[in-house]
Amino acid sequence: MRVALKFAYDGKHFSGYARQPGQRTIEQELLDLFIKRKILGDAKTSCFRTASRTDRGVSALGNVCAFDTACSKEKIVNQLTEDTSDVFIYGVQSVEPDFYPRHATRREYRYYLKRNDLDVDALLSAVGLFTGEHNFQNFARVEPLKNPVRSIDNIVIVEKQDFLILDFYAQTFLWNQIRRIVSALEKRGRGVLSNEQIHAALEHPEQKVDFQMAAPEPLILKEVVYDFSFEYVKDYKKNLQSFENRIIASL
């Protein structure tokens, strides 16, 4: 049987997501837990895969992994769905044998940008430049042979206490894309960049510009959406809110 798990983690306490020799990573933490609880034998034979490999310092409230196992969903829930200090597994679902979690219908990211002395109206005036389909060569770390064209469905911004909360919605994102967009928006809010400069960087990707990259710690993978629902543990929403509060408390 192949199962998918939904989980959250505080990225500040790990050296990134992917396994690295001698480093504490989220992927290794998950695999060690699964092997210890006899949920799977190893990553290769269980075809362990993840929806998103987040950067070092980035957290998640709704990442997803999948693997093959002989265990029932009930046993997995009983063995794994417990709130730990840094990782919280809270959803499970049986999936098709060929399910690959990277093939999601939508991803949602959240960035907590400190307001400081930003001109919020100026920043908001630039948000719409990034929605729709664009070549994001100047706003991502594009790997060789990777298509830099992506479509952002929506960017929603709300003000809360000392933060501007930026929620990004798209099927897929490029490496570092959100952090580079946020950096450009933050510079627009400080008056360092104009809308015309941002528009030109999008319209002329062949003309290389670098608006730098925002810090990773305020970025959270909020949700990964599929065409099925997960079965969730009791009070998971309350626990997730506490988890998010803890993540942003140190920002």
Catalytic residues: 55
Distance CA 170, CA 192 (A): 27
> Which one-letter amino acid corresponds to residue 56?
R
Helix (H, G, I), strand (E, B) or coil at 222: strand
Cα 124 off chain centre by: 22
75-109: buried (b, 16+ CB within 10 Å) or exposed (e) per residue?
A: ebbebbbebeebbbbbbbbebeeebebeebeebbb
Tokens 């490029």: give the residue: 174
| Helices 177-189/120-127 angle, 10° precision | 140
Q: Are 217 and 251 in contact (CB under 8 A)?
A: yes
Q: Are 139 and 184 in contact (CB under 8 A)?
A: yes
Tokens 């809360």: give the residue: 160
Distance CA 58, CA 13 (A): 10
The CA–CA distances, whole Å, from 96 to 3, 101, 198, 230 equal 8, 11, 43, 14
